Amino acid sequence: MVVKRPVHLTEEERIYLKHILNGGTEKARKLNKNRILLMADKGEKDKTIAEILNVAKNTGRNIRQRYADEGLEMALNESPRTGGPKKFTGKQEAKITALACSDAPEGYSRWSLRLLSDKAVELGVVEEISFNNVRNILKKNKLKPHLKNIGVLEQLIRNSSGEWNGFWTYMSENAIPEDQ
């Protein structure tokens, strides 16, 4: 079978790839791509490369194609991944964070994640939100509602007498714009 995208490395590219392999500081995925290119340059088939390196057969084919189409650097390095779209706007996240900084409802000593998610829906901050999403928002802002002093935001919103300055008013004046 003829290889559709043969790899023909220059001497400089071979030296560069061997240098990366001997360096010992690169990620395993990049090292495997190096090995794939070096083996493909020697004329090894994708099936042989897959068996030796313990990768999928398509991996070898994809690396060959990327090398042929886009060059050595693109074949070695991964393209940035976009990820999924944001579920909540910056303003919604700020309001949930401010809610976590407020006093717990009557009958509770502190906020739980489920209580925060239910209250955010009740107040119309979001249509729906799971307690795991609340956890991720609080984690991103390094807040821990189960602790008494939960963060910088609490200090910003409380006034000198220790009372809340109406955090919804504060948030509407100082919140992050909707589009972020």
User: Which residue ranges make up each domain of the chain?
Assistant: 11-76, 90-174
> What integer pLDDT is reported at residue 2 of this predicted model?
53
Q: Can you give the length of the chain in residues? A: 180
Cα–Cα distance, 129 to 113 (Å, whole number): 10
Mean pLDDT of 166-180: 53
Q: Cβ(113)–Cβ(135) under 8 Å? A: yes
What are the pLDDT digits (tens) for 90-142?
899 989 988 888 888 899 888 889 999 999 999 999 999 999 999 999 888 77
> What integer pLDDT is reported at residue 150 of this predicted model?
46
Mean pLDDT of 160-171: 52
SS3 labels along the chain = CCCCCCCCCCHHHHHHHHHHHHHCCCCHHHHHHHHHHHHHHCCCCHHHHHHHHCCCHHHHHHHHHHHHHHCHHHHHCCCCCCCCCCCCCHHHHHHHHHHHHCCCCCCCCCCCHHHHHHHHHHCCCCCCCCHHHHHHHHHHCCCCCCCCCCCHHHHHHECCCCCECCHHHHHHHHCCCCCC
What are the pLDDT digits (tens) for 75-101?
898 877 778 888 899 899 989 988 888
Cα–Cα distance, 42 to 165 (Å, whole number): 71
Q: Cβ(124)–Cβ(96) under 8 Å? A: no
Tokens 């690396």 correspond to 63
What are the pLDDT digits (tens) for 3-44?
567 888 999 999 999 898 888 788 888 999 999 999 999 989
Q: Is the pLDDT of residue 176 over 60?
A: no
More confident residue, 151 or 111: 111
